[in-house]
């Protein structure tokens, strides 16, 4: 069994050998190819069928001299399967650079734009089985006919359609082609599920010299290790029908056991040009996951001397950028084509026009060099509260003003889909509190008595903040709690959602503080909003029961809840679902990620990195934090199969909490250890609701 929290290094064989040379890389590349076939997309036919015939079935000449043809291509499969492709040619004789894409309506705009630039455009039969294009019948289903021709091949829908793109290239570069194509200038482009398709096609066909994938998500630009349930992104169980191998779904909750992840596509595409065009708040594509895959892919491009050929290109906004029906704005389409022009040595675009700009590129060593040594010191026998405050860093005395609207705008709420799962009878009112923190209050209409309050603290959902995306069961946690009579304060924490770039710039602006420290400050400000009325609402809100204010956190939000609860006596109870593994025990760090996830990977508590390699000397652990949360009621839920936690070490910490304060713990401390993975869905929401009822 292969278990590793970090991405499997592309320049390291499964047996641990390092790639030292180009020859080594070619061997490792073949290993990556085999693993992707085995775990993700299935096997292709043992032999590629030849083209036995091709016929132009329609032709139309436009006023600008361009020609549009439909061509029926027959393959030498056992039953001579035929498929149709569309070919658009600009005026002239060629040879033409070629752009391939599936003829989904919003992708044909790319084709129109490329045609104007002098590209030949091939619309291949790669329309998704969940889509239909009336003018391109069969483009969504011919893959099923082909799969029946090769019963021994285990290929999936997306890999079959990528294979069909390659068969179009066979025709266009062959003797029967009606166009002269420049064989060195072939690009493929796709958006969302078609972006996955483009990456896979490019990975398995070296004739494709440029790949542009716009918001391809998981498992394409985004490895499952960083898009599982605790990021509110796409887990292996979420892909529909036959996109990937059904066996891949079994890795939900244990994504760290995959011996290869989605970053493997880069290893097969390198050193050819590849652009990932993604958005800050893309509902299908967390920026953190995109960057982790990119950085690992970059290592291969560097080895091959082609680092500038791989880029992430960020845009503001969400998954779509253009008005209906475009989906992709004209400006974004032109930028995508600029990259292809760059790859082909066409146009005026230069590599400097696509600089490397990362959001989550935290350099711990640089942070360490900027610190005051005296401030980093902490006495081992200091009171627990002082050690906890030390771990959160030194907050500045003043914070600069924030330039933003007082409340969420309608456009911002639409982008973050705040109203997507709203059940009947639940209202949302924009609120603000603390230092520039904006959020929403969710509550049930018609409340006649003061409502208990829940401050909802979300997980590592960089793209969507407090809003749930994939994995929603019926409705979201804040809506479900509102249905059950709670008033729910929901907001994006520092570095997440609409505050994503605040996290990028955090340590440049606050080198002595920590992101978790800021998160704790904001959580306490939310408590002040509920208890003391500090803040404002855009419209009328219900009266609060100020003696029943709860902190509810999941994943990293559980850490925020735990630390804020330890420091704030106004809180009536703290509930922490997953989110931590003991700080002083690094025995299983390779599998869980250990403390490095806190001090480097997510840069939540950089000071913990001072004890890297000597974790047993850490000045605090979670029994210290939970000990300060008590005697307030506290619910801790630690699933036995949480891949981010060493469960045996967790049990030891829980025992310490109980033994340190046995009487208090017996009355106030509730610990649940379900035989489950790390997730927070309907049944976990109900666990919280049930727990609060025991406190009435």
User: What confidence tens digit (pLDDT) does each residue in 41-65 have?
Assistant: 999 999 999 999 999 999 999 999 9
Axis-axis angle for helices 384-392, 515-532 (nearest 10): 110
Average pLDDT of the segment spanning 89-102: 96
Could you state, in order of their start, the residue ranges of all structural domains in the chain? 22-353, 378-694
pLDDT at 432 over 80: yes
Average pLDDT of the segment spanning 459-466: 97
Element of type H or E holding 75: strand 67-75
Beta-carbon contacts of 657 under 8 Å, excluding residues fewer than 6 positions away, are: 623, 626, 627, 630, 665, 669
Average pLDDT of the segment spanning 151-176: 97
pLDDT at 656 over 90: yes
Comparing CA positions, the residue from 666, 683, 664 lying closest to residue 675 is 683
Question: For 557-592, what is each residue's pLDDT tens digit?
Answer: 999 999 999 999 999 999 999 999 999 999 999 999
Q: How many CB atoms lie within 10 A of CB 53?
A: 12
Give the Cα separation of 493 and 475 in Å (integer).
21
Beta-carbon contacts of 635 under 8 Å, excluding residues fewer than 6 positions away, are: 573, 574, 575, 576, 670, 671, 672, 687, 688, 691
pLDDT of the residue at 375:
87
Apex 358 CA angle, 356 and 362, nearest 5: 130
**The domain 378-694 is classified under which CATH number: 3.30.1300.10, 3.30.70.100, 3.40.50.1820, 3.40.190.10?**
3.40.50.1820
Give the Cα separation of 109 and 124 in Å (integer).
15
Q: Which two tokens stand for residue 640?
A: 């036995």
Residue the block writes with tokens 């972006």 = 195
Q: Do domains 22-353 and 378-694 have the same CATH topology?
A: yes
Comparing CA positions, the residue from 564, 566, 559 lying closest to residue 582 is 559
**DSSP β-bridge partners for residue 636:** 576, 671
Q: What is the mean pLDDT of the chain?
A: 96
Contact predicate 684/651, CB 8 Å: no
What number does CATH give the domain 22-353?
3.40.50.1820
Q: Which two tokens stand for residue 338?
A: 């600029």
Instruction: Give the model's confidence band at 470: pLDDT under 50 very low, under 70 low, under 90 confident, else very high.
Output: very high
pLDDT of the residue at 13:
97
Question: For 388-406, what is each residue's pLDDT tens digit?
Answer: 999 999 999 999 999 999 9
Share of the chain above pLDDT 90, in %: 97
Instruction: Give the model's confidence band at 438: pLDDT under 50 very low, under 70 low, under 90 confident, else very high.
Output: very high
Q: How far is CA 384 from the centre of its chain?
A: 36
pLDDT of the residue at 641:
97
pLDDT of the residue at 380:
83
pLDDT of the residue at 1:
66
Q: How many CB atoms lie within 10 A of CB 484?
A: 17
**DSSP β-bridge partners for residue 551:** 455, 574
Question: For 164-220, what is each residue's pLDDT tens digit?
Answer: 999 999 999 999 999 999 999 999 999 999 999 999 999 999 999 999 999 999 999
Share of the chain above pLDDT 70, in %: 100
pLDDT of the residue at 285:
95
Q: Mind giving me the DSSP string for 515-560?
A: HHHHHHHHHHHHHHHHHH--SEESS--PPEEEEEEEEEEETHHHHH
């Amino acid at each position: 069994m292969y278990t590793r929290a970090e991405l499997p290094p592309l320049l390291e064989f499964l047996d641990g050998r390092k790639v030292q040379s180009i020859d080594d890389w070619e061997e490792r590349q073949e290993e990556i190819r085999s693993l992707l076939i085995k775990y993700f997309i299935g096997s292709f036919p043992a032999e590629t069928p030849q083209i036995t015939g091709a016929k132009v079935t329609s032709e139309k000449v436009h006023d600008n001299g361009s020609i549009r043809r439909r061509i029926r291509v027959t393959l030498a499969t056992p039953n001579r399967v035929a498929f149709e492709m569309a070919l658009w040619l600009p005026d002239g004789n060629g040879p033409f650079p070629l752009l391939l894409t599936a003829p989904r309506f919003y992708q044909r705009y790319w084709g129109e734009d490329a045609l104007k630039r002098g590209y030949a455009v091939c619309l291949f039969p790669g329309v998704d089985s969940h889509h239909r294009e009336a003018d391109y019948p069969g483009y969504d289903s011919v893959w099923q006919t082909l799969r029946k021709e090769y019963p021994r091949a285990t290929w999936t829908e997306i890999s079959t359609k990528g294979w069909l793109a390659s068969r179009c290239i066979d025709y266009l570069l062959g003797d029967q082609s009606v166009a002269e194509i420049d064989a060195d200038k072939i690009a493929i482009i796709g958006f969302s599920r078609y972006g996955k398709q483009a990456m896979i096609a490019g990975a398995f066909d070296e004739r494709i010299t440029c790949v542009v994938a716009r918001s391809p998500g998981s498992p394409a630009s985004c490895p499952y290790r960083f898009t599982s349930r605790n990021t509110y992104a796409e887990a292996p169980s979420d892909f529909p029908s036959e996109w990937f191998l059904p066996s891949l779904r079994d890795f939900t909750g244990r994504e760290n056991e995959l011996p290869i992840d989605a970053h493997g596509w880069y290893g097969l595409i390198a050193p050819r040009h590849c652009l990932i065009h993604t958005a800050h708040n893309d509902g299908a594509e967390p920026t953190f996951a995109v960057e982790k895959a990119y950085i690992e892919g970059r290592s291969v491009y560097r080895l091959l001397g082609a680092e500038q050929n791989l880029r992430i290109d960020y845009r503001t906004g969400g998954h779509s950028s253009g008005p209906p029906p475009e989906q992709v704005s004209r400006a974004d389409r032109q930028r995508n084509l600029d990259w292809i022009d760059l790859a082909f040595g066409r146009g005026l675009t230069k590599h400097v026009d696509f600089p490397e700009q990362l959001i989550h590129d935290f350099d711990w060593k640089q942070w360490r060099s900027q610190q005051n040594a005296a401030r980093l010191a902490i006495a081992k026998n200091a009171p627990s509260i002082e050690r906890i405050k030390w771990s959160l860093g030194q907050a500045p005395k003043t914070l600069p003003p924030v330039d933003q609207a007082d409340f969420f705008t309608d456009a911002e709420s639409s982008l973050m889909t705040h109203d997507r799962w709203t059940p009947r009878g639940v209202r949302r009112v924009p609120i603000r509190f603390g230092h520039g923190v904006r959020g929403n209050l969710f509550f049930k209409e018609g409340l006649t008595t003061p409502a208990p309050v829940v401050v909802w603290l979300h997980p590592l959902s960089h793209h969507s903040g407090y809003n749930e995306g994939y994995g929603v069961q019926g409705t979201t946690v804040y809506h479900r709690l509102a249905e059950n009579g709670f008033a729910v304060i929901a907001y994006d924490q520092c570095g997440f959602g609409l505050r994503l770039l605040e996290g990028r710039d955090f340590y440049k602006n606050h080198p002595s503080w920590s992101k978790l420290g800021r998160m704790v400050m904001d959580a306490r400000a939310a408590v002040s909003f509920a208890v003391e009325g500090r803040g404002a609402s855009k419209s009328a809100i219900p009266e609060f029961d100020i003696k029943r204010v709860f902190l509810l956190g999941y994943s990293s939000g559980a850490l925020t809840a735990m630390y804020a609860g330890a420091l704030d006596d106004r809180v009536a109870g703290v509930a922490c679902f997953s989110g931590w593994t003991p700080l002083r025990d690094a025995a299983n760090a390779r599998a869980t990620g250990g403390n490095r996830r806190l001090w480097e990977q997510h840069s939540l508590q950089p000071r913990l990195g001072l004890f890297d390699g000597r974790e047993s000397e850490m000045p605090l652990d979670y029994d210290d934090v939970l000990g300060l949360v008590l005697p307030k009621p506290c619910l801790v839920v630690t699933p036995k199969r949480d891949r981010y936690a060493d469960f045996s070490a967790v049990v030891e910490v829980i025992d310490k909490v109980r033994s340190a304060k046995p009487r208090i713990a017996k009355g106030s401390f509730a610990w649940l250890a379900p035989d489950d993975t790390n997730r927070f869905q309907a049944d976990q929401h109900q666990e919280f609701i049930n727990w609060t009822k025991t406190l009435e």
